[in-house]
Amino acid sequence: MLDAHGRPLEYLRLAVTDRCNLRCFYCMPEQGIKYLPKSEVLSYEEMLRLTTLLAGLGVRKVRLTGGEPFVRRGLLPFIEQLANVPGLTDISLTTNGVLTAPYVPELARLGVRAVNLSLDTLDRHRFAAITRRDELPAVLRTFDALLDAGIELKINAVVMAGRNIADLVPLAELARTRPLSVRFIEEMPFNGGSHEASAATLPWHHARIRQHLEQHLGELRPLPAPLGNTADEYAVAGFEGTVGIIAAYSRTFCGSCNRLRLTAEGGLRTCLYSQNGLDLRALLRGGATDADLLIALQQAFYHRASDGFAAERERPLHQLSFESMATIGG
């Protein structure tokens, strides 16, 4: 299915929980987080029903995210059920890696194709300062386990002015001798009220990140990328892996966006910068039939904003910083 701007629906990002065992400062405040009551989070059965319907509309790829997916019990049996959904050919997940290492062999057995591991620094003190938890050793165990298991690995590093600029080159260096991609993400304003974010406080945009990396690593040579990719991928001379830059704040990738987001409470987001649109939980729990749900999903996708700037304009002013990426799922 295509939206009104001719973009296909292929990819679903599914936030299985809004809870997390870290408190990354760019994502959440340290205290006072209001998690959803369990009864307001979609059950796995409800998520499976929606995913199956969306697969019927063309979704081929599902990424499990959160919150931290591994803090929700029953994740692996759910992945096993997803693996049997007709039409779904690609299951991947995004994790902070704190609890993940012991599950990696099972993820490989279930056919999980790829894991994005969030890692903003290799320095234990800076890790603890950014995430407000001293968990770098556990994350590095997950890093090793994923490489050993042969699961495709991407590192996600948020670029934060004044916090981890010294880490960009050491993180990129992970790709020198390993078959992985290290992707640098422009910081976005969604931080659950943790700090006031604006163009002035988020100055590390794509061009500046690229220039910084090139100063230290030499030329970043653009690589061809499949349509719908948010990362611009680059080859670096002498590197086995690649580096990427995700213009999440500049929003240069909207023209080929092929994705929907489902929040843990069952909100359908047709753009990262949009508000919760369709309340699927209300429809599901109000007795909607599959036909009702399909019509609602099709209409929501068809009418989505042309890009992230248009979606932002449709929101009440200055609201972005009050939202947390743990609700949206990244």
CB atoms within 10 A of CB 286: 9
Taking the CA atoms of 224, 225, 231 and 234 in sequence, report the sign of the dihedral they define: negative
Which positions ≥6 away from 38 have C-beta within 8 Å?
none
CA-CA distance, 143 to 116, in Å (whole number)? 10
**Residue count at the site for ligand SAM (CB under 6 A)?**
22
- Contact segment (CB under 6 A) with ligand SF4 among 64-72, 173-181, 277-285, 288-296 equals 64-72
> Nearer Cβ to ligand SAM, position 85 or 325?
325
Assess 142 for contact with ligand SAM (CB under 6 A).
no
Q: Which DSSP string do the residues of 99-141 spell out, in sequence order? A: TTGGGHHHHHHTT--EEEEE---S-HHHHHHHHSS--HHHHHH
Report what 185 binds from ligand SF4, ligand SAM, none; CB cut-off 5-8 Å by kind: ligand SAM
Smallest distance, ligand SF4 to C-beta of residue 33, A:
9
Cβ neighbors of 30 (< 8 A, separation 6 or more) are: 23, 132, 194
Q: Which amino acid is at 47?
A: M
Residue 190 partner contact from ligand SF4, ligand SAM, none using kind-dependent CB cut-offs of 5 to 8 Å: ligand SAM
Asked if 181 touches ligand SAM (CB under 6 A), the answer is no
Binder of ligand SAM out of 17, 51, 52, 65 (CB under 6 A):
65
Which x/- pattern, by CB under 6 A, does the window 25-44 give for ligand SF4?
A: --xx----------------
Q: Contact between 312 and ligand SAM (CB under 6 A)? A: no
Cβ nearer to ligand SF4, comparing 27 with 260: 27
Of 16 and 297, the one with the shorter C-beta distance to ligand SAM is 16
User: Per-residue x/- marks for ligand SAM, 101-140, CB under 6 A?
Assistant: -----------------x----------------------
For 288, what's the count of Cα atoms within 13 Å in the CB-facing half-sphere? 19
Closer CB to ligand SAM, residue 58 or residue 228? 228
Q: How far is the CB of 65 from ligand SF4 (least distance, A)?
A: 8
Choose the binding region for ligand SF4 from 4-12, 17-25, 135-143, 275-283 (rule: CB under 6 A).
17-25
**Taking the complex as a whole, how short is the minimal distance between the CB of residue 96 and ligand SF4, in angstroms?**
4
Q: Which does 28 bind (CB under 5 to 8 A by kind): ligand SAM, ligand SF4, none?
A: ligand SF4
Q: How far apart are CA 14 and CA 184, in angstroms?
A: 22
From candidates 23, 163, 205, 251, binder to ligand SF4 by CB under 6 A: 23
CA dist list (Å): 110 to 21, 68, 304: 24, 19, 33
* 3-state DSSP assignment of residue 288: coil
Instruction: Name beta bridge partners: 222.
Output: 234
- Indicate the DSSP class of residue 269: E
Phi, psi of 312 (to 5 degrees): -65, -40
The answer to whether residue 159 forms part of the interface with ligand SF4 (CB under 6 A) is: no
Task: Measure the CA–CA gap between 13 and 262, rounded to whole angstroms.
Answer: 6
Binds ligand SF4 (CB under 6 A): choice among 143, 326, 327, 328: 326
3-state DSSP helix/strand/coil % of the chain, to nearest 5? 35, 20, 45
Cβ neighbour number for residue 294 with a 10 Å cutoff: 15
Name the site residues for ligand SF4 (rule: CB under 6 A): 20, 22-24, 27-28, 66-68, 96, 118, 325-326
**Residues contributing to the site for ligand SAM (CB under 6 A):** 20, 26-27, 65-66, 68, 94-96, 118, 156, 158, 185, 187-188, 190-191, 248, 325-326, 329-330
